[in-house]
Amino acid sequence: MKSFTRRGFYAAVVIILTATLYFPVSRVKADSDKHEIEAFLNEMFKDRAEALIYPHMNSIDKYYLPEKVSQVALQHERLRAEYVNTWAEKRALKLVSSEVNIRIIRQNIVNDKAQISLVQSHKVGYMYINKVMSEHVFGVGTRHFLTLKKSGKTWKIAKEWYLDPLDEDPGKISDGFVGATSAARAKPELADGTSYKRKRAVNYANKYAGAAWGAGNKHRYNKKYLDYTGKGGDCTNFASQVIGDPEEGGGLNMAGGWRYYPSSGGTRTWVQTDAFSNFLTRSGYGRLIAKGDYHHIVTPSQKYPEGAISQLQAGDLIGYILRNNDTDHFSVVVGFDDYGYPLVNSHTADRYRVPFDLGWDRNTKYQLFHIKD
């Protein structure tokens, strides 16, 4: 009996040691990789944010592999910083702060490779050059899909994709400055009208601006509505919600083909940019103030001595045309900075109080829609 017990004891020890050698070790390694990756991502996004305002881009080179696909991702970040800083220079601004928060959605780690999806909320501050004004801040939100590889003892970016609201050619930014003209006209106090609840619409746009820094609702869209991001974009769906949601939004009555059905989603006019653009004027809900490139809408004219852009109010909409006279994007005017620059919110990609032309170039045409109260 004693000898059996001793053999049983030794066998149990062997089993325990074997389990310790195989199962916990693999778990420990997986946990270690997870923590390493989280630390890497937080440090990398922090350094990329700082590189936006201190564009000495060598500071982020260390996060990328020498392979072509990885270097393409690095080049995108360099051009992004160049674009934003060139835009700021042309608008007599200076970027003064840049901070990010990330939320990792999922990680799939296999050996020395990791597939990551995450959401970034980015806060950017700017000030006007030679103007005594406080810092203005805006937010953008982006959804990132990354492949990381371990190189030696550190992780590196093998490839990355995200829909970037600031992805434009820095050599194609319109010259000129809109602040001086749009500030010349006093903006009416934000209030709810008889048919259009303008103040409520702006509050809705701020609450549901998604992943962008500054947005409410814990950076989530309104769950009452389908998310069309993966079906061509959610910007028009969002604009329709802002002016039409009966409980929190502008409360315009659904009319004609402009409708949202909880069971099936939005109609073509509700979610498709061109159809929505046409609906605004045909329905009488909106009035097209002007349509044209940056210079056309900011240049004083006989009809608009301070430029057509000065006629916008918070709660109005801007359509963006890239080519073939087709509307490609919609944003919601939610206010103005201290120098009168119109600020917008949108989905796909998510923006919160972003200067209206940041992320666009001199080929963009703007449709300025006033929503009638």
Domain total of the chain: 2
Distance, CA of 46 to CA of 101 (rounded, Å): 8
Measure Cα distances from 258 to 49, 68, 115 in Å: 40, 46, 40
Q: What is the pTM of this model?
A: 0.90
> What's 72's domain CATH number?
3.10.450.50
137 and 198 inside one domain: no
Per-residue pLDDT of the chain (373 residues; tens, 9 = 90+): 433 344 444 444 344 434 444 445 455 566 888 999 999 999 999 999 999 998 766 889 999 999 999 999 999 999 999 999 999 999 999 999 999 999 999 999 999 999 999 999 999 999 999 888 899 999 999 999 999 999 999 999 999 999 999 989 999 999 987 654 454 455 677 888 889 999 999 999 999 999 999 999 999 999 999 999 999 999 999 999 999 999 999 999 999 999 999 999 999 999 999 999 999 999 999 999 999 999 999 999 999 999 999 999 999 999 999 988 899 999 999 999 998 999 999 999 899 999 999 999 999 999 999 999 9
Whole domain around residue 109: which residue ranges? 2-172
148 and 240 inside one domain: no
166 and 206 inside one domain: no
265 and 336 inside one domain: yes
282 and 330 inside one domain: yes
116 and 239 inside one domain: no
pLDDT of residue 14: 42
302 and 358 inside one domain: yes
Domain boundary among 172, 194, 214: 172
Domain boundary among 116, 149, 172: 172
Domain boundary among 172, 197, 213: 172
**First-residue to last-residue Cα distance in the chain:** 94
Burial bucket for residue 318 (CB in 10 Å: 0-12, 13-18, 19+):
buried
246 and 152 inside one domain: no
160 and 185 inside one domain: no
How many beta carbons lie within 10 A of that of residue 232, not counting itself?
A: 13
pLDDT of residue 24: 55
Burial bucket for residue 14 (CB in 10 Å: 0-12, 13-18, 19+):
exposed
204 and 280 inside one domain: yes
pLDDT of residue 98: 97
Exposure of 313 in the CB half-sphere (CA atoms within 13 A): 21
152 and 253 inside one domain: no
109 and 209 inside one domain: no
How many beta carbons lie within 10 A of that of residue 323, not counting itself?
A: 9
> What's 231's domain CATH number?
3.90.1720
